[in-house]
Amino acid sequence: MKKIPERKADTSMEKDKNKMENKKLTELLEHLEYELVQGTLDREIPAVVYDSRKVVPGCLFLCIGGANFDGHDFAAQVAEQGAGVLVVQKDVELPENVDVTVVKVADTRYAMAFISAAWFGHPAEKLKVIGITGTKGKTTTTYLVKSILENAGYKVGLVGTIEVIIGDEHIHANNTTPESYLLQEYFARMVEAGLDTVVMEVSSQALMLHRTQGFVFDYGIFTNLEPDHIGPNEHASFEEYAACKGMLFKQCRLGIANVDDEHFDMVLAGHTCDLETIGFSDRADYRASDMELIGRPGYLGVKYHVSGKIDMDVEIDVPGRFSVYNSLVAIAVCEHFKVSQEDLKAALKVVKTKGRIEMIKVSDDFILMIDYAHNAMSLESLLTTLKEYHPKRLVCVFGCGGNRSKLRRYEMGEVSGKLSDFTIITSDNPRYEDPQAIIDDIKVGMAKTKGKYVEISDRKEAIRYVIEHGQKGDVIVLAGKGHEDYQEIKGVKYPMDERVLIREILAEDAAKGNGRKIDGIRQCDRRYFP
């Protein structure tokens, strides 16, 4: 297998730092409460740094604590390297012979957000900023909003789980919401590129770690809340998780929230923004009704009517009730941008999100889709949604990641066993584990059900199997990888995009030239496929 080259961090703006004007320390600290521990505030700052490997003479260095490191441990080192200012939240020991200013704050991550905003000239003030939070739906909804606004003539950037988009530039994302410094840098580049709007995913982790401080969102969106991201290095409890989601609504001008969600009141408690609601409830400002599932050969979708602050019929080429909620959010946001109903309808009909119920056309006989569902909760939601369309068979192909909780494997096996008519257990990202050991754990969950399954460790061969054995009326789901374009084995990432695998399989089977064909797919012996 060919190794994926290491993705280098985007440095286009880093290269221009020398061209950026120095800023006064007092300007960078303007919106913060702080204590001057030593030195002088009368300093010109040539750079803001939070990585000890990037220290330059005179820079402001932020001592940030992380899961595996603490910047305070490098305070003496960076002072000796010539840092002009240290921003700390706890006491540090420094050599006596260094000329360095020490500023103490309550939380250096919080301070970094405001300092970064000031360093880049408060770019968010020059953009309309839309932030979307929730357990599910963030990624899909960001692309929905971006597509609709662009169709209406706005110039829109995006910050999300899959990528950052600045004009024609697509930057690989490492986090759903980047560190505050990088986020502000992206905002600055968007302004420089002539964009007027940015839509971004806002994770609970980002809110908890203050990555989105230093500016005010014009619109804050709440999609839904379910137990997730609770555990070591995440949230201590569901209550904390909900509270972190709610922080967005103390940092935005207008909130748009799903009033149908059972945790609506918990998340919105203490909000300081104006508020609009979406949902099926009579309480909703944008109210959905008359929902109808649409299923025909090669197509799954949904249509409904929305009333309240707007009155129109909607059809979406994405299945399920949750698609109604995602589109309602997009409609509510775009209504504030004065998007016409014609533009709304047209955009909602065609928008697609990579790896989120992404249908890949291979046959008129059955539906094949790729989805990022990679835990029990998301898989259950997806399979339950698809069962509502009454397929002849619901077939699920999935694996689980290595060096992760075994509980996830048991749970996903049980979910697929209960809801799928047939399961193909395969490999995901085994990381440092034996793929077969992971499969064996999944089978523990399957054993609690009467679900039928086969195991095919090689993911490409698993996909080939379901394509070659697909039957008329089937809905086949490739779950877990979604937008990912790699497979991680023994710490190395190898190229593996399921879209590419499907194209290869179709080409290889067509080249064999044996058997009856359906859209280039060889119809194989079905003896081992119930």
> Quick one: three-class SS letters along 279-313?
ECCCCCCEEEEEEEEEEECCEEEEEEEEEECCCEE
- Write out the two tokens for 53: 């490997």
How far, rounded to the nearest angstrom, does the alpha carbon of residue 424 sit from its chain's CA centroid?
26
- Whether residue 468 contacts residue 509, with contact meaning beta carbons closer than 8 Å, is answered with yes
The neighbouring-strand residues paired with 292 are: 303
User: Token pair of 515, please?
Assistant: 């058997």
CA–CA–CA angle 284, 285, 289 (5° rounding)? 60
CB atoms within 10 A of CB 6: 7
Q: How far is CA 49 from CA 17, 88, 509, in A?
A: 11, 13, 54
Helices (H), 303-421: 321-335, 341-350, 376-387, 406-419
Q: Where are the domains of the chain?
A: 20-118, 122-350, 358-522
User: What's the confidence (pLDDT) of residue 350?
Assistant: 81
pLDDT at site 522: 34
**Inter-axis angle of helices 321-335 and 341-350, to 10 degrees?**
140
For domain 358-522, the CATH architecture is Alpha-Beta Complex (3.90)
pLDDT at residue 514, rounded to an integer: 45
* Strands 197-201 vs 492-495: parallel, antiparallel or unpaired: unpaired
Token pair listed for 434: 């034996």
CATH node for 122-350: 3.40.1190.10
Q: pTM for the full model? A: 0.86
In DSSP terms, which residues pair with 304 in a beta bridge? 314
pLDDT of residue 525: 31
Check residue 509 and give its pLDDT: 87
Closest CA to 354 of 183, 191, 207, 172: 172
pLDDT by residue for the chain (530 residues), tens digit each? 555 554 444 444 554 544 578 999 999 999 999 999 999 999 999 999 999 999 999 999 999 987 678 999 999 999 999 999 999 999 999 998 899 999 999 999 999 999 999 999 999 999 999 999 998 889 999 999 999 999 899 999 999 989 999 999 999 988 889 999 999 999 999 999 999 999 999 998 899 899 999 999 999 999 998 865 555 556 567 788 889 899 999 999 999 999 999 999 999 999 999 999 999 999 999 999 999 999 988 889 999 999 999 999 999 989 999 999 999 999 999 999 989 999 899 888 887 888 989 999 999 999 999 999 998 988 999 999 999 999 999 999 999 999 988 999 999 999 999 999 999 999 999 999 999 999 999 999 999 999 999 999 999 999 999 999 999 999 999 999 999 999 999 989 999 999 999 999 999 988 887 433 434 333 333 323 33
- Quick one: pLDDT at residue 300? 93
The CA radius of gyration of the chain, in Å to the nearest whole number, is: 25
What's the Cα-to-Cα distance from 262 to each of 176, 226, 280, rounded to whole Å?
A: 24, 9, 13
Q: Could you tell me if 422 and 530 are in contact, meaning their C-beta atoms sit under 8 angstroms apart?
A: yes
**Which CA distances in Å does 468 have to 146, 462, 505, 520?**
37, 10, 9, 10
Cα atoms in the 13 Å half-sphere on the side-chain side of 216:
9
First to last CA, the chain: 33
**In CATH, what number does 20-118 get?**
3.40.1390.10
